[in-house]
Structure 1
Amino acid sequence: MNLIMTELLEEDDELYDYDTSAVGKAKYFYNLCLNESEILENWRTTFDEVVKSFGGWPSLGHPVKPDASIEMLYADMVAKFKADSLFKATVQPDDKNSQRHVLLVGGAYKDYKDYKNYKKFQIDQPQLNLFARDFYVAAENEERMAYLQLIRDVLILLDADRNRAMQDAREIIHFETALANITMADEQRHDIAELYTKVTLGEMKDSLPHFDWPLFFNHMFKDLNDK
């Protein structure tokens, strides 16, 4: 299958418009990925531009903006990079009605066609970066230590101060461990019907008042055109 896809993507033809054709776009991005010299030459500039667009990264010495909003920051990360470190946002069939597609926002179901008028949500836990909850909550283990080292090494490669890199790596592990401690183990999540519990936006605001849910949803969907 991979060989067939490679042959199709590498076909030299001008039948597809790169601006409008899905096939043309696929070929265009495939060729971009093969341009290693361009990637090596410009990756840092692109990376810095993206980080700047998110208000900077304190680990790299950028000051935190006084008006920084976790809701707007995470909404951008979800919309642009499909982040799911805190909760997910994706389109999928409703677990109880496969004929209906919904927006799953951290387990929060929103009507895909008319999200602004949909009033029910369902909250779920995030995907942990170490995948298995036990890697966080168990005693010191090789997986967690390797993850700590990876975070530190990446920060140093990005020119972070070595001492700051280790300190921030530990803080990241500490935060993710706190998230893991409030999640359910996989064996407790087999009954989808039991997990399927919808709440209103008002109930979300009452239960989780420290997160501005309307701001998050509105910012995440700000570029979605009503149809």
Structure 2
Amino acid sequence: MGAEPLLALLRELGGWPVLEGDAWNNTDYDWVRQMARLRNYNNDILISEWVAADITNSSNHIIQLDQPELGLPGREYFINPGDYQYREAYLDLMLNVAQMLGAPLPVALKDMTEVLHFETHLSRILTPAEERRNLSAVHRRLTVDQLGEEVPEIDWTQYLDIITWYNNHSDEVVVFGLDYFKKLVSLLEYTDDRTVSNYLLWRFVKNRISNLGERYTKVKQDYIKVLFGRQSQPER
């Protein structure tokens, strides 16, 4: 079946702009809705969300929200000047996969370069790991309404309704990334919708490369070799 199941799913998710070209329409684009739908396919992008025991009350399981992982293994890969080869390999991976899925090279080069710039800015607003060693210090227990007051630019009710499949979600959530969420909405205010959607769906596609067959796996292996020096994929 090749990449057709993935391409069909991308169309269902609003279309990947790099593949849609000028036909992509942002009139009704809602990044919160798209991000939440991707969470239902097990992708933590822009916001990390899970359910686990509350660290202040281990008998109580609760929705928890935090800053996300990035496409490269850590924020330092985007920031350190000496790590440029990793950023180049990451951009090559984006370009190769986008073209293999049907994007023209000029469009892929423009769009994916902007995605890399966006993710670089995103890496700079993440709280460094050394400042998060004591999770209790950044732990906040808030009602959904209180979270909405702290970060009103994000429709938290819509997000939680989608990721919980429209069941009743808890009135309270645990938040570890409040400062990050406030910086995120400021970053998104100055980022065009096309770049945001390209980034969200790129991260989704990156998570699915290993499901697409040998051609795609080889491209991914070239990237992994630069990052980790590993010659072959681990056994499934």
TM-score under structure 1 normalisation? Answer: 0.67
CA–CA separation in structure 2 for the residues paired with 1:99 and 1:222: 24
Structure 1: stretches of 5+ with no match in the other structure: 1-41, 108-123
Which of 122, 125, 131 matches 2:67? 125
1:174-224 per-position Cα deviation (integer Å, ceiling 9, x unaligned): 111111111111111110110112233333223322221112112222354
Structure 2: stretches of 5+ with no match in the other structure: 170-236
Code of the aligned partner of 2:18: S
Code of the aligned partner of 2:11: K
* Structure richer in helix, relative to its length: 2
C-alpha spacing 1:180/1:97, structure 2 compared with 1 (3 Å): same
Q: Which has the higher contact order (CA 8 A, sep 6+)?
A: 2
1:110-145 per-position Cα deviation (integer Å, ceiling 9, x unaligned): xxxxxxxxxxxxxx2111121211111222621111
How many angstroms does 1:170 deviate by? 1.0
Q: Give the aligned partner of residue 154 of structure 1.
A: 97
TM-score under structure 2 normalisation? Answer: 0.65
1:14-34 per-position Cα deviation (integer Å, ceiling 9, x unaligned): xxxxxxxxxxxxxxxxxxxxx
CA–CA separation in structure 1 for the residues paired with 2:149 and 2:54: 25
CA–CA separation in structure 2 for the residues paired with 1:201 and 1:103: 11
CA–CA separation in structure 2 for the residues paired with 1:223 and 1:46: 26
Give runs of aligned pairs for residues 1-227 of structure 1, distance below 5 A: 42-61=1-20, 62-79=23-40, 81-104=41-64, 107=65, 124-139=66-81, 141-224=84-167
CA–CA separation in structure 2 for the residues paired with 1:184 and 1:201: 23
Q: Is the 8 A contact 1:60 1:160 kept in 2?
A: yes
User: Would you identify which runs of 4 or more consecutive aligned residues in structure 1 move more than 6 Å?
Assistant: none
Percent identity between matched residues is 27
SS at 1:198 equivalent: strand
How many angstroms does 1:57 deviate by? 1.0
Q: Is the 8 A contact 1:71 1:211 kept in 2?
A: yes
The structure number with the bigger radius of gyration is: 1
Q: Is the 8 A contact 1:82 1:88 kept in 2?
A: no
Code of the aligned partner of 2:129: D
The CA RMSD over aligned residues, in Å, is 1.9
